[in-house]
Amino acid sequence: MRAVRARHVIAIGVAAFLAGAVYLAPAGLVGAALGDEGPARLSGIEGRLWDGRASLWFDGWPAGRLRWSFDPAGLLDARLRFDWRIQDPGYDLGGQGDVGFDGTALDATGEVGPILLERTLAPYDIAVGGALEISRLVVQASRDLVPRTVEGRLHWTGGPVGYRLAGREFRTDLPALDGRIDTVEGEPVLIVRAAGQDVPLLHVRLDHEGWAHIGITQRFTELVGMPWPGGGPADAVVLEVGEQVL
């Protein structure tokens, strides 16, 4: 019995020592751990490893100011739990993370503004107004960071949309849109509908090879003022396009 108690006390002491060491460690260790080989890099690092902030760069462009704060109690369960937030003129996102031997979980809530939306869609000759609201997007991944499930809710506030098609410029106003993300047969699937409506407008699926498949329904073509010839059910997918995004 005494041996068991002694081991228990030693384990608590080691955990407390590690927590104290990490708590006092400089935040620069996070940047050192990322290195210079991957797409993500930190600069302007301040604070401590346990509670710090830094400028995040991704593939050479500034991705915003990142803040993080770890929960020391997680070490007692052999888990790494933390809060995070990243802010940029184009977006404001935050959430929690949980890393353990069985995998990683990350959730995000926040808003993506028109600046980032415009930057993202510009290569496709699409311009949109409004903002995209993210309601607790949750990603569950394996130990090697392969996503297992993705779930979440999205809401676009609606507004003017401009796009180029066959060399011509088109403009229209779209209502607010709601999106729901679920995992179907191991692949993330996003269904977009007009707010308060049941008929799907877009089906978006990300396959295991990193290809995004976008299905456009008859109702969506009507909504943008270019109804698909031949008619058909409102929820029928009349056009599908794909692009490798990962």
Per-residue pLDDT tens digits for 4-57 = 454 544 444 444 445 554 555 444 445 444 455 556 677 778 777 778 888 887
What distance in Å separates the CA atoms of residue 126 and residue 216, rounded to the nearest whole number? 16
Total domains in the fold of the chain? 1
> In this structure, which long-range contacts are made by residues 112-118, counting pairs with CB atoms below 8 Å and at least 24 apart in sequence?
113/89, 115/89, 115/90, 116/88, 116/90, 116/91, 117/90
* DSSP helix/strand/coil, 18: helix
Full residue range of the structural domain in which residue 32 is found:
2-244
> In this structure, which long-range contacts are made by residues 60-66, counting pairs with CB atoms below 8 Å and at least 24 apart in sequence?
62/88, 63/88, 64/88, 64/90, 64/91, 66/42
Write down the pTM of the prediction.
0.77
